[in-house]
Amino acid sequence: MSVHDFWTPFALEPFLNALIVGLSIASIWLVAALGLTIIYGTMGVINMAHGEFIMLGAYSTYVLQSYLGFPFLLCLPAAFFIVAGFGWVIEKVLIRHLYQRPLDTLLATWGVSLVLIQGVRLVFGGEPQYVGVPTWLDSAMQIGFINLAWLRVFIIVVSGLMVLLTWWILFRTVTGVRIRAVMQNKEMAASFGINANQVYSITFAYGAGVAGVAGALFGAFKSLFPDMGSGYIVEAFLVVVVGGGQLIGSVFSAGLMGEMGSVFSYFTNDTFARFVLFTLIVVFLRFRPQGLISEAMTRR
């Protein structure tokens, strides 16, 4: 293997295509990380079962579509409510009891993810399942030299809409005010009559629901496996951590990471790009542990 094979020389059109692919990757990471951002940003909970929430969203879509004949577009909101309901229950029976022990939440949710993977494998088997998409999503968009599957365009659009929706909820509704109050100071929020436990339940359910939507989307362009979620979890966490647990931070970090990953893999290859990207992120966090965007630090 010579250096020449390893290193792809620069050419304008493929490079521009790589940037557009980067945008698509970024939107996928953003969708995967959005629910995690809300949960981590508000509650400080590291939910290791997030990937499995995505997986549940994908399998919900599969079941609704194959057994109940739901159209794909209707599956998106349906997956949201199914997984949100599931998240609500998990929060009530497990997470709630571990708020004082953040590292333990991380571990307990890892246990949840193992149970979910194996549970789904028992019910649906280990072989891949498929979600069908409408024909208009099944082709590729072709503008000049730019070539992108419509499904990827659709994901970019949906991820944008979901960010807007989340932003609207957080900054334009009463529930959002409550969530942000609890986020900044739980005790003080409580003294103003805000029920922090209720806020946590809602937040966790919403974050889970968003993961469900992500699963419905991912199911459309990848086959479904019980352990498909573990493929998203590391990237999703990095998006959240680099973004500082803020909504806008996650948008930036997903964009940056997606583009950088795509450009690196254009010049080298996918796995080497992943290695370089992850190493860069670790170095970045060394110098800015609070991430790209951070709230003013509070001190005792």
Partner 1 sequence: MESQNIYHNKTAQWLSYLVVFVGLAFLPTFIDPFTLNQFSRYAVLAMLAVSVSLVWGFGGILSLGQGIAFGLAAYGMGMTMQMQFQDPESNPIPSFMLTNELSELPGLWVPFWNTEVGLLLALAVPTVFFVIFGALMFQARVAGAFVAIMTLAMLAAWYSMAYDMQPFTAGFNGISPPLPFDWLGVSFDPYSPITYWVALGLLAFVVLASKLVLQSKFGLIIQAIRDDAERVRFVGYNVAFYQVVIFAMSGFIAAIAGITWVMLTQYVSPVLLEVQFSIAMVIWAAVGGRLSLMGAMIGAFLVNGMQSYVGDAFQSTWLLIIGGLFILVVRFLPKGIAGLIETGLGYVPIGRRRSDSMSSNPARAAE
Partner 2 sequence: MGMLELHGVTKAYDDFTVVESFSFDVIEGELRCLLGPNGAGKSTTMDLITGRQKLSGGKIVFDGRDITGMKEHEIARLGVGRKFQVPAVFRELTVRENLEVADNRSPNPFANMRWFGRSGDSRNFDQIVDLVGLGPRLGTQAGFLSHGETQWLEIGMVLMQNPKLLLMDEPTAGMTEHEKHKTSEIFGRLKGNHTLVVVEHDMSFVREIADVVTVMHLGKLLAEGPMKEIEVNSRVREVYLGSEGNGHDA
Give the interface segment with partner 1, choosing from 62-70, 135-143, 193-201, 264-272 (CB under 8 A).
264-272
Q: How far is the CB of 25 from partner 1 (least distance, A)?
A: 15
- Looking from the CA of 190 toward its CB, the CA atoms found within 13 Å total 7
Burial of residue 163 (CB within 10 Å: 0-12, 13-18, 19+) is buried
Which one among 20, 83, 220, 238 touches partner 1, defined by CB under 8 A?
A: 238
By beta-carbon proximity to partner 1, the closer residue of 174 and 283 is: 283
**CA-CA-CA-CA dihedral for 297, 47, 155, 152, to nearest 10:** 110
Round the CA-based radius of gyration of the chain to a whole number and report it. 20
Report residue 147: phi and psi, to 5°: -135, 115
CB of 75 to partner 1, least distance (A): 27
Which helix (H) or strand (E) segment holds residue 233: the answer is helix 230-242
Q: Using CB under 8 A, which of 58, 256, 281, 292 touches partner 1?
A: 281
Backbone angles phi, psi at 140, to 5 degrees: -115, 145
CA dihedral 165, 170, 172, 178 (to 10 degrees): 150
How far is residue 256's CA from residue 119's CA, in Å, rounded to a whole number? 36
4 binding partner 1? (CB under 8 A): no
Give least dist CB 48 to partner 2, A.
25
CB 58 within 8 A of CB 233: no
Judged by beta carbon distances under 5 to 8 A according to partner kind, the member of partner 2, partner 1, none in contact with residue 238 is partner 1
Choose the contact partner of 197 out of partner 1, partner 2, none; CB within 5 to 8 A by kind: none
Closer of 12 and 297 to partner 2 (Cβ): 297
From the list partner 1, partner 2, none, partner contacted by residue 297 (C-beta under 5 to 8 A by kind)? none
Q: Which of 199, 266, 242 shows the shortest CA–CA distance to 21?
A: 266
- Measured CA to CA, the distance from residue 250 to residue 252 in angstroms comes to 5
| Amino acid, res. 299 | R
User: Closest approach of Cβ 297 to partner 2, in Å?
Assistant: 10
Q: Is 279 in the site for partner 1 (CB under 8 A)?
A: yes
Binding region for partner 2 (CB under 8 A): 296, 299-300
Q: How many residues at the interface with partner 1, by CB under 8 A?
A: 43
Q: Which does 119 bind (CB under 5 to 8 A by kind): partner 1, partner 2, none?
A: partner 1
Shortest separation between residue 207's beta carbon and partner 1, angstroms = 16
Site for partner 1 in 94-153 (CB under 8 A): 94, 97-98, 101-104, 106-108, 110-115, 117-119, 121-122
User: Is-contact 291 249, C-beta < 8 A?
Assistant: yes
184 closest CA partner among 38, 102, 298, 45: 298
Q: For Cα atoms 67, 68, 71, give the angle at the middle one, nearest 5 degrees.
A: 115
Closest C-alpha to 198, from 181, 217, 210? 181
Question: Segment contacting partner 1 (CB under 8 A): 22-30, 130-138, 153-161, 274-282?
Answer: 274-282
Q: Show contacts with partner 1 in window 19-78 (CB under 8 A).
A: 46
Q: How far is the CB of 300 from partner 2 (least distance, A)?
A: 6
Q: Rule CB under 8 A: is residue 182 a binding residue for partner 1?
A: no
Interface residues with partner 1 (CB under 8 A) are 1, 46, 94, 97-98, 101-104, 106-108, 110-115, 117-119, 121-122, 230, 234, 237-238, 241, 269-272, 274-275, 278-279, 281-283, 285-287, 289
